[in-house]
Structure 1
Amino acid sequence: MKTVYLTENPSLELMRLGAYPRPSAPSTLAIGELACRARGVRDIRPLLRVSSILPLLPLPYRIFVPAKADRRPSKLVNCQVIPPVRGGVDFIELDECCKGLSPEMTYILFCRAKPLALRAQLGLELCGTYATAPEHYPEMATQYDPEPLTNVSSITAALERFVREPDSIAARQALHYVQNKSASPMESALLLLLCLPPAEGEYGLPIPERNADLPIIAYLGQQHDEKTRYGDLVYREAQLVLEYQSLLYHDEPGSKHADEDRRDDIEAMGYTVMFITPERLQDFDCFEGIVQRIAHHLGLAPACVPLGLTPEKRSLRRLLLPASWNV
């Protein structure tokens, strides 16, 4: 039976659909070892009768082939030549005839033609504990609390294996803003809105820690609930904690008290807590006030923080925030 080797776009779609194991165990294949590779309509059509994966994907199927001579483009198949990678390319077996790229290589190849904000946003998702809705299944909701698909160190190791620098340079630039275990898309968006450089339309603030271990755990002792996270974004030296306060769980019994207890615990250790709600993030003027307060806590001079609504800021907010929000 032939095998389909999927490129980065369908691989990402399947990760968001939950078709990838978490954690995953990739197998590494040398480019010349893409055994029994499917490369055209005659190869693909019989696989549709047995594959549980291919029917989930939109047409044309985007697949890898080893060389230009292997390409058989059609309305059913879009063939791409696999990039050179030292030691081989990492794939995950999804069913008996379909293999997807590893999360690390999906991220690196996705980055090649995307803006910095979208590159960093995807890295935070793949290293985080959520999965956004797939592009072709917009009716699906964001999934929370799955195991991360990868981590920053694994992506860094995969970057070292790419032979051609242009294949990896965009991913290296974006990885500077990626940290492990981001808990939601809006936490990731908040970090990027604060920390992307002014050239990209944002404020260039220092990058905070994500879900940092604070001394609260020792302070609470046996009363510490391991399920409770302290500090979505933490500036440890400035003793400043930014908490994104989603409205998602506010109707649950006790959720308001839990937020208040967490804030009291953090402040008892000498930290300042700033709650950032969707309304404060959506309102541009209000958000700029938050930025000014953060800069003050960090000891930054006002001149160091570029304020005001620019075309670049407007474009970046449209990229990172829900489409229903207006600047």
Structure 2
Amino acid sequence: MALFIGHSSALEYWRTHPLGRPPARLSHSPSLANATTGIREITTFPCKMLGMRESPLHILTASSSGRNRSKRVVCHVLSQPMPAGSFVKVGKNLYVASPELTFFLMASQLPIPELTLVGYELCGYYRLSNDAPSGFVKARPVSSAAKLLAFTNRMQGFAGVKKARRAAEFLSDRSASPRETVTAALLCLPHAEGGYGLEIPQMNREVQIKEVTPAGSVAKTLYCDLYWPQHRLAVEYDSDRHHAAPRNIAHDSKRRSTLGRAGVYVVSMTNDQLKSVRDFDEAARLLAKHTGRRVRVRRDDFPARRLRLRTTLLAQPRR
């Protein structure tokens, strides 16, 4: 018998292994018909040693007939055959949902805004961590926006596919922090979710710049937190922790001046601006203007939806 880990327990696994090279996705999908659901059998697997410490443990099975009803275990039934790449093998007869399947499964537990945050995290350079003072740690991306969307499209017939596909459409790769993710989500989620509906930016992408100096032309590579290359538009998020020192402030000012001389319009975003409804609204409308669009909200309940979205997203770690 084998144990298959899914949902929030699988997400916990991916958060617990931020820098290691992830196990390869299996080219074939092992049958969930062989899944164990018995508490006695489950306790023989090293789940806690692999980082899955929260209770209850979420496991997968192919049939509701063998579901275990316990405070320690939640069984989820996936009766259809799973596509290749659904699992990684992390131990003898022990399988964890791949990042793509994890994202898809979380659609049954999370609304679109929170599901979007999970997607950014799996595609980004950080993982949330209760043990870190900042609330997150540096990490390797374990998936990409394109992979999440492609996998979701292969899950036709499964419950939650519409929501997962909708959330995947708003993702971008390479976010470096929860606050960068929150900034992108607030800007780009649709009005129906309380966002401003802007185009999806690239994140932490290279911007090649040539500067003319007395010694000649010098090539430089800079990185922008959020970048719309087609509009030469960037957002730089200034976190309280990393940008408070005078030396850092001077460095950031020089970077923005360099980007400006290269024709990139830079909008700064501080944590205080992010937390202010009025200041963020002004920044969002300025960004929209520079993309050639205007923010036209045709929902009477948009202020309430925006407040709900902000309340949800700004609960993320601050840095």
The equivalences for 1:144-163 within 5 A come to 144-163=137-156
Give the conservation status (yes or no) of the 8 Å contact 1:203–1:306. Answer: no
The equivalences for 1:84-103 within 5 A come to 84-88=80-84, 90-96=86-92, 98-103=94-99
Cα 1:224–1:118 shift into 2, 3 Å: same
1:71 to 58, 67, 75: 67
Residue of structure 2 in register with 1:24 after alignment: 23
Give the conservation status (yes or no) of the 8 Å contact 1:40–1:77. Answer: no
Shift of residue 31, structure 1, vs aligned partner:
5.3
Q: Counterpart of 1:213 in 2: which secondary structure?
A: strand
Give the conservation status (yes or no) of the 8 Å contact 1:7–1:106. Answer: yes
Give the conservation status (yes or no) of the 8 Å contact 1:230–1:266. Answer: no
CA deviations on 1:19-71 (whole Å, 9 max, x unpaired) are 78434312255453665x431122123336x96237x4223322112212222
1:274 to 251, 262, 267: 267
Shift of residue 223, structure 1, vs aligned partner:
6.0
Residue 79 (structure 2) pairs with residue 80 (structure 1): no
Identity %: 25
Q: Quick one: distance in 2 between partners of 1:290 and 1:215? A: 25
Q: Quick one: distance in 1 between partners of 2:150 and 2:122? A: 15
Cα 1:312–1:52 shift into 2, 3 Å: same
Q: Counterpart of 2:223 in 1: which secondary structure?
A: coil
Shift of residue 114, structure 1, vs aligned partner:
2.4
Cα 1:146–1:59 shift into 2, 3 Å: closer
Amino acid at match of 1:173: R
Residue of structure 2 in register with 1:38 after alignment: 36
Residue 61 (structure 2) pairs with residue 62 (structure 1): no
Q: Quick one: distance in 1 between partners of 2:299 and 2:238? A: 25
Shift of residue 242, structure 1, vs aligned partner:
1.0
Q: Quick one: distance in 2 between partners of 1:74 and 1:90? A: 26
Cα 1:144–1:224 shift into 2, 3 Å: farther
Amino acid at match of 1:185: P
Residue of structure 2 in register with 1:107 after alignment: 103
Q: Quick one: distance in 2 between partners of 1:263 and 1:151? A: 28
Give the conservation status (yes or no) of the 8 Å contact 1:295–1:301. Answer: yes
Q: Provide TM-score, normalisation by structure 1.
A: 0.83
Residue of structure 2 in register with 1:318 after alignment: 311
Q: Counterpart of 1:188 in 2: which secondary structure?
A: helix
Cα 1:60–1:143 shift into 2, 3 Å: closer
Shift of residue 309, structure 1, vs aligned partner:
7.5
Deviates more, 1:7-16 or 1:140-149: 140-149
Residue of structure 2 in register with 1:11 after alignment: 10
Residue of structure 2 in register with 1:191 after alignment: 184
Residue of structure 2 in register with 1:236 after alignment: 229
2:50 to 41, 53, 63: 53
Q: Counterpart of 1:172 in 2: which secondary structure?
A: helix
Q: Provide TM-score, normalisation by structure 2.
A: 0.85
Shift of residue 112, structure 1, vs aligned partner:
3.0
Q: Counterpart of 2:24 in 1: which secondary structure?
A: coil
Shift of residue 76, structure 1, vs aligned partner:
3.1
Shift of residue 162, structure 1, vs aligned partner:
1.6
Cα 1:165–1:76 shift into 2, 3 Å: closer
Cα 1:139–1:242 shift into 2, 3 Å: closer
Matched residue count: 314
CA deviations on 1:265-316 (whole Å, 9 max, x unpaired) are 2111112211100011111111122123223323334656989972111110
Deviates more, 1:246-255 or 1:271-280: 246-255
State the Cα RMSD in Å. 3.1
Cα 1:302–1:146 shift into 2, 3 Å: closer
Q: Quick one: distance in 1 between partners of 2:97 and 2:170? A: 23
CA deviations on 1:177-225 (whole Å, 9 max, x unpaired) are 1011111111111111112111112222222232233232x55876636
Q: Counterpart of 1:174 in 2: which secondary structure?
A: helix
CA deviations on 1:101-140 (whole Å, 9 max, x unpaired) are 100100011113422211211111111111112xxx4766
Segments of structure 1 that go 5 or more residues without pairing to the other structure are none
